[in-house]
Amino acid sequence: MPGMIVLYALATIAVAQTVFHVFKSYLRRRKMHPGPTGVPVLGNVLQVPTSMPWYRFSEWKEQYGDVFSLDLAGQPVVILNTYKAAADLFDRRSTIYSDRPRLIMASEILTGGIFMIFAKYGEVWRKMRRASHEAFNLRASEKYQPDQCKEAALNVLDLINEPDLWVDHLKQTTASSILSAVYAWPRIGSKDMPIIHRIHAHTARISGAVVPGAFLVEIFPWMKRFPTWMAKWKRDGLEWHEQETQMFEKLNAAVAEDMATGKSDHCFVRELVETEQRHGLSKKESAWLAGIMFSAGAETTLGTLLNFVLAMTLYPEVMRKAQGELDTVVGRERPPKFEDKDNLPYIRAIIRETMRWRPVSPLAVPRCTTEDDWYDGYFIPKGTNVIPNVWAMNRDPKIFPDFDEFRPERFLDVTETFDDVPPNTHGLGHATFGFGRRICVGMSFASQVLFIQMAMLLWAFNFEKPLDSHGKPITPSKAECIDAGVVVLPAAFKTNLVPRRADVRSVIQRELENMA
């Protein structure tokens, strides 16, 4: 009986809250950027697809303009569809556009508010940002280059041995690069797979919790107050948080033990242990900060490399032009190194084009306003979720008329040297790493991995379409993809990796001996 009374009281509060919110959002919406008309109470909820919403947002851009608004069951949302609008708000008004929306399950329950990507714009985030920026900024990332170069060379050998397992090897090599930078792990192999699966499952659980509609508590935040005996989802979430904390603390403790016995190599966790006092991070915060680097960096880098392989398979003329550049600048006596980068404008243009053509996070990570604001004569209230539609920005026909084509030349000037276009992209040529104060903190590290892996793969292999039973080439789909929550990967496709010359293996082996 007391349970019934509690439920009745909660239901009454819910109805009263809902009526109040509907009225408030109706008044507010009239001052906001125009957008699609929704239905009472739910607003536009039923019009926004739960999977791949960026396609619908891009259609609405054509109808309502570069910036439009939505009402998701009383939650005001603004969608930005151009580099200019994103730069105007996220870069130039960053004091009020750097917070993240409230994610009760993914951020508050599962990750205790200390998962940096989703963390609120406050002291914990600031400490984490400072510590990770110190370790992964442009200059600091250079110290990871020798390991990244060795990793890319070893990956070529793996691919020569098992070309059909190319996706697994790309997964392994991206995971290895990050784990060696974060925990000084030696190259991962089959013995490490249980922990790799565990960390992947960790990321998948958090990504799953972000999917709209996955948890009712996101729509009715008062449900968070339910006691754990009444709410299994909350009990499970809190238990999971404890388990994951133990896993990450154990990984950090292993580095600290190695440091104590003088065995530890340089890595991010070592820096964190050494600077703990200065950054004021607790043991738990340091453990989660290190853990997030894998969650944030592995799938995104892997997805970008998969899109690169897709592009090379679909656009053989681009592949051949890149190989021509590598053969002229690097030659066949040694594989490419980081020192070649300045002399390889076409390879650098390929990295940009891959990230522009198929952004692995087409909506980046949403922001939330911390104050009322006006933009272009329209109101953006405090607490609005602001979503950058990176997909539409990177395919803006005014900037990239042939946006669906993979054409690295768009990033070269008339003399075929590198060009920093277009404006409002931090000189990157795309918005795939995000914006302003919350721009990807691992972008320099990721760019290094992408450069050395792409250059090494193009130097070593041709990517060829496989043949069907009639001898006709099988062309992979350009459009199919898998929306894995936070990251979008291309749908599975086949390609044949064929070594460009018989001596690729011996040249790489010789290079690895020199590196040892």
Which residues contribute to the annotated binding site? 440
Using the minimum distance from each CB to ligand HEM, give the nearer residue, 111 or 304. 304
State the minimum distance, in angstroms, from the CB of residue 447 to ligand HEM.
Answer: 8
The tokens for 232 are: 């299994």
Measured CA to CA in angstroms, residue 361 lies from 59, 240, 423, 512 at distances of: 18, 26, 21, 34
Using the minimum distance from each CB to ligand HEM, give the nearer residue, 288 or 504. 288
CA–CA gap between residue 15 and residue 11 (Å, rounded): 6
Angle at 55 between CA 474 and CA 90, to 5 degrees: 120
3-class state of residue 488 by DSSP: strand
State the minimum distance, in angstroms, from the CB of residue 39 to ligand HEM.
Answer: 30
> 3-state DSSP helix/strand/coil percent for the chain, to nearest 5?
55, 10, 35
State the minimum distance, in angstroms, from the CB of residue 254 to ligand HEM.
Answer: 19
Using the minimum distance from each CB to ligand HEM, give the nearer residue, 29 or 438. 438
Using the minimum distance from each CB to ligand HEM, give the nearer residue, 330 or 355. 355
CA–CA gap between residue 387 and residue 177 (Å, rounded): 30
Using the minimum distance from each CB to ligand HEM, give the nearer residue, 156 or 446. 446
Enumerate residues 6+ apart whose C-beta is below 8 A from 326: 336, 344, 347, 455, 458, 459
Matching residue, tokens 């960096």? 297
3-class state of residue 386 by DSSP: strand
CA–CA gap between residue 348 and residue 369 (Å, rounded): 35
Using the minimum distance from each CB to ligand HEM, give the nearer residue, 160 or 428. 428
CA–CA gap between residue 121 and residue 128 (Å, rounded): 11
Enumerate residues 6+ apart whose C-beta is below 8 A from 281: 127, 128, 131, 272, 289
State the minimum distance, in angstroms, from the CB of residue 82 to ligand HEM.
Answer: 15
State the minimum distance, in angstroms, from the CB of residue 63 to ligand HEM.
Answer: 26
State the minimum distance, in angstroms, from the CB of residue 44 to ligand HEM.
Answer: 23
3-class state of residue 379 by DSSP: strand
Measured CA to CA in angstroms, residue 149 lies from 132, 177, 389, 450, 511 at distances of: 22, 10, 34, 11, 10
Q: Which residues are near ligand HEM by CB under 6 A?
A: 116-117, 129, 132, 136, 178, 292-293, 296-297, 300-301, 304, 360-361, 364-365, 432-435, 438-442, 445-446
CA–CA gap between residue 131 and residue 112 (Å, rounded): 19
For the chain, count helices (H), then strands (E): 15, 10
Using the minimum distance from each CB to ligand HEM, give the nearer residue, 368 or 446. 446
Quick check: 97 and 89 in contact, CB under 8 A? yes
Q: Is the Cα dihedral 300, 302, 303, 308 positive or negative?
A: positive
Using the minimum distance from each CB to ligand HEM, give the nearer residue, 29 or 358. 358
State the minimum distance, in angstroms, from the CB of residue 124 to ligand HEM.
Answer: 11
Using the minimum distance from each CB to ligand HEM, give the nearer residue, 107 or 361. 361
State the minimum distance, in angstroms, from the CB of residue 483 to ligand HEM.
Answer: 15
DSSP 402-464: TTTS--GGGGB-TTSSB---STTSTTSSS-TT--GGGS-TTHHHHHHHHHHHHHHHHHHEEEE
3-class state of residue 50 by DSSP: coil
The tokens for 412 are: 């070269």
State the minimum distance, in angstroms, from the CB of residue 3 to ligand HEM.
Answer: 41
State the minimum distance, in angstroms, from the CB of residue 38 to ligand HEM.
Answer: 26
Using the minimum distance from each CB to ligand HEM, give the nearer residue, 73 or 441. 441
Using the minimum distance from each CB to ligand HEM, give the nearer residue, 127 or 234. 127
Measured CA to CA in angstroms, residue 468 lies from 134, 309, 363, 476, 477 at distances of: 51, 19, 36, 12, 15
Residue 483 φ/ψ region, left for φ over 0, alpha for ψ in the -120 to 50 degree band, beta for the rest: beta
Question: Annotated binding site for heme: which residue ranges?
Answer: 440
